[in-house]
Structure 1
Amino acid sequence: MSQEKDFLEKIEKHKGVIFKISKMYMDNFDDQNDLYQEIIYQAWKSYKDFKGNSDFSTWLYRTALNTAIVFLKSEKKRSFIQNQRIEHLPVNHEAYNEDDDRNMKIMYEAIHELSAIDKALIFFFLEDFSGKEIAVQLGITEVNARVKLNRAKSKLKDIIDKKKII
């Protein structure tokens, strides 16, 4: 199997991760799509260096998060982030629930107010990563990962509570 075909199959299998990270780090549809493409591009550029010492998904998480953080910090994107509204992909109207949609909007708006590292922690939490797995991903101790995660969850809860009052 060619390297390109192998890469594309793996990306297809894990595209949900890329989508979630894009949505967590960018607050409008166009920027989410730009980040999605940038993550794939950066993953492809570094795929030749992927040795298989870890699972592809672990490597992709790190690549995607690093790309998202760099992308978010760029001056060009920072100006787009301010004062933009969240845009959504088409929804399945049969399963559509207005309250769920409102809660998802509030959650993503709140996530956008977190720091880049807190976003990563919340992403790992939402993906059911253990404290140990989060520590490995971030290169910190397990205790530190758990403390940082609890702080990030607390910040997120406070932001969401404020948004629901408004």
Structure 2
Amino acid sequence: MSDKRVLLLNSALKLFYEKGTGAVGINEIIAYSGVAKKTLYHHFSSKDDLILAALTLHDQKYLQWLEVKLADVQTNEELVKHLFHALNDWFNDRVTELGGFRGCFFINTASESVTLDRQIQDRCARHKVAVRQLITNSLPQPNDRLVDALCLLKEGATVAAFVQGDRQAALRCIDIALAHDTQAPFPV
């Protein structure tokens, strides 16, 4: 990947994550990155193309970070603790590779407009599927109901941390998830 493309992509991701994809225009990205408009359009055919590339880059960063945090757990209980302690670190701006916490980039992007390009919506949805798969693959003892609970708790904690400023939301999820893991399945 060329240096200019990397600079543009990192600049766009930073601005999109901080301000939202709808609020950031091409001219702001050009000014922030110091790259010429012609160069931007050489690498990205449109703003939507740049948004898709930024989503892909953030997806890679997030999944790599989370995979490291969930590596080598020996029990489901350990995974629960690792997951929500990692989220707590992120919510409290202790994860440099993800930048300052501004909520979930994928939720934020998907919720900005009901008229978003379908590819952007699909990219956001694929990220959530990939996170779920990573959690599933990281569980030492398979448990689909626990994965459901963890994914819902993770999303809820992320929204609570961002929208309500509840930076401790992830830590409260630990007891909830562990209580769920020990309970018998709900009757259908």
TM normalised by structure 2 equals 0.30
Bigger Rg, which one? 2
TM normalised by structure 1 equals 0.33
